[in-house]
Amino acid sequence: MAKQIEGVYENIIACATKEFLNKGYADASLRTIAAEAHTTTGSIYTRFGDKEGLFEAIVGEHYTKVMQMYKAAQEEFANLPAESQPNNLASFSGDCMYDMFLYCYDNLEIFKLILLKSDGTKFSHMIDEMVEIEVEATHKYLNVLKKLGKPSPKIDTKLEHMIITGMFNTYFELIIHEMPIKDAKLYLKEMREFYTAGWMKIMGQG
What is residue 3's predicted lDDT score, i.e. its pLDDT?
44
Tell me the backbone φ, ψ of residue 73, rounded to 5 degrees: -65, -40
Asked if pLDDT for residue 2 goes beyond 70, the answer is no
CA-to-CA distance for 176 and 69, rounded, in angstroms?
20
pLDDT band at 204 (very low <50, low <70, confident <90, very high): confident
- Give the residue extent of every domain in the chain: 1-49, 59-202
Residue 153 DSSP symbol:
P
* Percent of the chain topping pLDDT 90: 79
Asked if pLDDT for residue 173 goes beyond 50, the answer is yes
Cβ-Cβ contacts under 8 Å for 63 (sequence gap 6 or more):
114, 123, 126
pLDDT band at 206 (very low <50, low <70, confident <90, very high): low
Average pLDDT for residues 13-32, to the nearest whole number? Answer: 98
18-22, 47-51, 184-188, range with the lowest pLDDT? 184-188
pTM of the model: 0.90
Asked if pLDDT for residue 178 goes beyond 50, the answer is yes
CA dihedral 26, 119, 47, 107 (to 10 degrees): 120
CA-to-CA distance for 70 and 103, rounded, in angstroms?
12
Q: Tell me which of 95 and 13 has the higher pLDDT.
A: 13
State the architecture of 1-49 in CATH terms. Answer: Orthogonal Bundle (1.10)
52-80 pLDDT, tens digit per residue, is 999 999 999 999 999 999 999 999 999 99
- Let me know the angle formed at the C-alpha of 20 by 170 and 169, rounded to the nearest 5 degrees: 10
Contacts 24+ apart (CB under 8 A), 29-37: 30/54, 37/8, 37/11, 37/12
Cβ-Cβ contacts under 8 Å for 28 (sequence gap 6 or more):
16, 19, 20, 22, 51
* Percent of the chain topping pLDDT 70: 97
Asked if pLDDT for residue 15 goes beyond 60, the answer is yes
Average pLDDT for residues 165-185, to the nearest whole number? Answer: 93
CA dihedral 182, 162, 199, 176 (to 10 degrees): -10
What is residue 167's predicted lDDT score, i.e. its pLDDT?
93
CA-to-CA distance for 163 and 190, rounded, in angstroms?
16
102-133 pLDDT, tens digit per residue, is 999 999 999 999 999 999 999 999 999 999 99
CA-to-CA distance for 72 and 61, rounded, in angstroms?
16
3-state secondary structure of 168: helix
Residue type, 172: F
Asked if pLDDT for residue 1 goes beyond 80, the answer is no
In the chain, beta strands by DSSP E:
none
Asked if pLDDT for residue 93 goes beyond 90, the answer is no
Asked if pLDDT for residue 4 goes beyond 90, the answer is no
